[in-house]
């Protein structure tokens, strides 16, 4: 057995964790309920030292498979190297809450809100949906005030949680800010910004096509195929030392330089993580700063964040722009408020309103194809999902149940962090999306 083969399990674990796809993602859902799989109930990493059968360590080929992932999502930095997204030295700006008695009453009222899941005839309560979707943290802001906040599983109010592909929306937001401010030309070809991209399929794509994931690039994420592109990407991006006989690309950016074409740029939306890393390279080249520096400078330091965030990096220290951020629940709520208020927070404008206006308008819906069965006929632009529903909702989304859901009509921001057993949001949307709408409508009745 070659050293490459012997290390494959560890390599797969590292990158599938980073992009948010557990090794058992496409198996049948685990039988343990949210209560049964709670890390405290499972006894993970409890004791000094924990019992051997309760340890979760690196390298461990199952540390991000269910039910271990319910602990691991709050402990990324114990498994992977990261780079800080600093909140700086300013004091945090506290979020505004309802008065204690009103807050407690509101929680009871929201927990009792009922809705009917997609393709179901049976009603479910809001609280039941939290457990059904293995929620670790839930925050709801309405008209600028926190009206609901709960923590489960591994997450405490001072903890941090992996946000998976919501990271893409942070990368896209930074890019859109640059476009609106004139620092980045979204009609420019990638090769004119990154000459090193060479003959890669990305070379002839425009920045906008990368931002909206309408590039014609070959990249398979078929996890059942050991020869799929995802595994080549995994080996390239792994921060673990490369085996002596490894001769493939080293790091995210070297991988992007050898991507082959498939289809035509601009024809259709295809959700492919490599677009986000290409975008991260573009904005870093234009600004001379890493995506972590930019997120700190333009967002975390200015929005009154109360915790630093962190972003995983490859073996060369390049931050994973497609899925590597770990952050606190309340700070994600602050980011949601920035989007709801079109670039303003705490009485300060952090970026032009046009940035959010462009994102809310959505992408070309004809390029979204037939949509997704649970999502509907929405669109995707600047790495944000746009629902095109009656409330004009849009969202950052990540596998295993991560979301920042912004409802402009209801003036609501909802943040959920979760550790759902399977890595496809299609299993969660049938309960989550109707639940979000029901809570939004309930809050509107109280206006």
Task: Look at residue 29 and tell me whether its pLDDT is greater than 60.
Answer: no
Biggest CA–CA distance in the chain, Å, is 66
Q: What global pTM score does this model have?
A: 0.93
Last residue of a domain, which of 279, 313, 341?
279
- Looking at the structure, do residues 339 and 377 belong to the same domain, yes or no? yes
* pLDDT at position 422 over 80: yes
Residues 230 and 23: their CA atoms lie apart, in Å, by: 12
Average pLDDT over residues 431-445: 97
22 pLDDT band (50/70/90 cuts)? very low
Same domain (yes/no): 27, 141:
no
Domain end, chosen from 228, 253, 279, is at 279
pLDDT tens digits, one per residue of 157-185: 999 999 999 999 999 999 999 999 999 99
Task: Give the DSSP H or E segment for 433.
Answer: helix 429-445
pLDDT over 80 at 203, yes or no: yes
Mean pLDDT within 251-265: 97
Domain co-membership, 265 together with 382: no
Cβ within 8 Å of residue 56, ≥6 positions away? 44, 45, 63, 68, 71, 72, 75
Task: Indicate the residue among 260, 279, 298 that finishes a domain.
Answer: 279
pLDDT in tens, 84-130: 999 999 999 999 999 999 999 999 999 999 999 998 999 999 999 99
Q: What is the pLDDT of residue 384?
A: 98
Question: Mind listing the pLDDT tens digit for each residue in 45-70?
Answer: 999 999 999 999 876 557 788 999 99
Choice between 425 and 71, residue whose per-residue pLDDT is larger = 71
Structural domain including 204 reads 174-279
User: How far is the C-alpha of 203 from the C-alpha of 215, rounded, in Å?
Assistant: 10
Residue 18 predicted with pLDDT over 60: no
Helix (H/G/I), strand (E/B), else coil: 395? strand
Residues 300 and 382 in one domain: yes
Segments of 106-218 assigned E as strands: 114-115, 124-125, 135-142, 145-151, 161-162
Higher pLDDT residue, 374 or 387?
387
d(CA 407, CA 414): 8
Q: Both 188 and 138 in a single domain? A: no
Give pLDDT tens digits for 306-338. 999 999 999 999 999 999 999 999 999 999 999
Question: DSSP characters for 120-143?
Answer: -SS-EEHHHHHHHTTEEEEEEEET
The per-residue pLDDT for 59 is 64
Q: Are 313 and 423 members of one domain? A: yes
Active-site residue flag, 165? yes
Which one from 37, 65, 72, 165 is the annotated catalytic residue? 165
């Amino acid at each position: 057995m070659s050293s490459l083969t012997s290390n494959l399990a560890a390599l797969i674990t590292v990158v599938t964790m980073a992009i948010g796809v557990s090794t058992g993602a496409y198996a049948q859902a685990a039988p343990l309920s949210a209560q049964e799989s709670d890390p405290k109930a499972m006894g993970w990493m409890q004791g000094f030292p924990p019992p051997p059968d309760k340890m979760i360590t690196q390298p461990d080929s199952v540390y991000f498979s269910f039910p271990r992932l319910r602990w691991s999502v709050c402990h990324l930095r114990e498994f992977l190297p990261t780079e800080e997204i600093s909140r700086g030295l300013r004091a945090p700006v506290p979020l505004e809450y309802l008065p204690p008695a009103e807050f407690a009453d509101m929680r009871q009222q929201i927990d009792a809100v009922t809705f009917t899941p997609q393709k179901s005839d049976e009603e479910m309560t809001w609280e039941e949906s939290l457990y059904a979707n293995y929620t670790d943290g839930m925050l709801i802001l309405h008209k600028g005030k926190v009206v609901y906040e709960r923590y489960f599983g591994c997450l405490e109010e001072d903890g941090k949680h992996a946000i998976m592909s919501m990271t893409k929306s942070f990368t896209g937001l930074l890019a859109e800010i640059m476009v609106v401010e004139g620092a980045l030309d979204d009609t420019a070809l990638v090769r004119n910004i990154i000459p090193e991209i060479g003959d890669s399929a990305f070379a002839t794509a425009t920045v906008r096509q990368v931002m909206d994931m309408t590039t014609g690039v070959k990249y398979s994420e078929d996890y059942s195929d050991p020869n799929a592109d995802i595994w080549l990407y995994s080996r390239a991006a792994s921060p673990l030392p490369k085996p002596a006989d490894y001769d493939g690309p080293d790091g995210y950016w070297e991988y992007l330089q050898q991507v082959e074409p498939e289809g035509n740029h601009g024809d259709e939306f295809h959700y492919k993580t490599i677009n986000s890393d290409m975008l991260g390279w573009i904005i870093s080249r234009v600004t001379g700063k890493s995506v972590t520096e930019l997120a700190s400078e333009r967002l975390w330091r200015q929005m009154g964040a109360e915790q630093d965030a962190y972003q995983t990096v490859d073996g060369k220290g390049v931050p994973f722009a497609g899925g590597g951020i770990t952050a606190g629940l309340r700070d994600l709520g602050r980011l949601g408020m920035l989007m709801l208020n079109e670039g303003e927070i705490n009485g300060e404008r952090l970026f032009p309103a046009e940035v959010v206006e462009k994102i809310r308008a959505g992408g070309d819906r004809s390029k979204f194809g037939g949509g997704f069965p649970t999502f509907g006929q929405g669109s995707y632009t600047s790495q944000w999902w746009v629902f095109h529903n009656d409330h004009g909702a849009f969202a950052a989304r990540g596998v295993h149940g991560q979301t920042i859901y912004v409802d402009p009509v209801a003036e609501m921001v909802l943040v959920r962090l979760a550790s759902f057993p399977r890595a496809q949001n299609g299993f969660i949307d049938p309960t989550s999306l109707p639940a979000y709408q029901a809570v939004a409508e309930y809050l509107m009745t109280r206006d």
